[in-house]
Amino acid sequence: MELENAANACALSEFWFGKHPEGISNLIVVTVSEGIGVGMILNGQLLRGTSGLAGEFGHVTINESGPQCGCGNHGCWEVYASNSAAVRYYSEAKAAGRNGKSSPQKPTAAKTFENILQLAERGDPEAAEALARMAHYLGKGITMLIAGLAPDVIVVVGDVARVWDKVGPVVMEVIQQRCSTHANTKIMASGLVPQPRLRGIVALVLQRHFGAPTTA
């Protein structure tokens, strides 16, 4: 039986099946859903760490005064850059009103991330604002990955890839402003491939039996 967490499975899927230049050996996948996951292929090896929990960058604190995360800490990266964060931003924007002034009314009932994507695609300003805030913090976290690991490629996986034309430029602006190492890392969104985790498990078998050593 082959078992792997979702982020690692997606990283293996991208490493084996993604459309990347020959010779890529350092690839990071950032999975964006209700949380943030990170899968890392470094020097051709899937990095799991001694505990098997390497890559939990979603639970790195970026603001100690921030909202509480499901892990119990406050201000984790995923609290600011996940689908759930975008839903929260949308509710806050609706509560504040389009003129930016605060409102005594309770926040509008949160939409699903799918709803926000649909609204953004139709030009809804609050949905666009929510995605821009999400993208800003996604960029901040990716800057951390670039500064610390300098991979060849970082691939963002998740429904947010559908609106990468809106999110990607914000992410890149943050990286250009904040990343002092000037690593030559390509940032891209994954294609909307069906069953990326399943493809990752297939890749796990290939990596184990035909590729380089699978863990580091």
Domains belonging to the chain, first-starting first, are 6-210 (3.30.420.40)
Predicted confidence (pLDDT) at residue 91 exceeds the cutoff of 60: yes
Tell me the average pLDDT of the chain: 83
Percent of the chain with pLDDT over 70: 80
Mean pLDDT of 90-96: 87
pLDDT in tens, 3-49: 457 888 888 888 877 777 777 899 999 999 999 999 999 998 888 88
DSSP the chain: -----HHHHHHHHHHHHS---TT---EEEEEESSSEEEEEEETTEE---TTS-TT-GGGSBS-TTSPBPTTS-BSBHHHHHSHHHHHHHHHHHHHH-TTS---SSPPPPPPPHHHHHHHHHTT-HHHHHHHHHHHHHHHHHHHHHHHHH--SEEEEESGGGGGHHHHHHHHHHHHHHH--S----EEEEPP--S-HHHHHHHHHHHHHHHSS-SB-
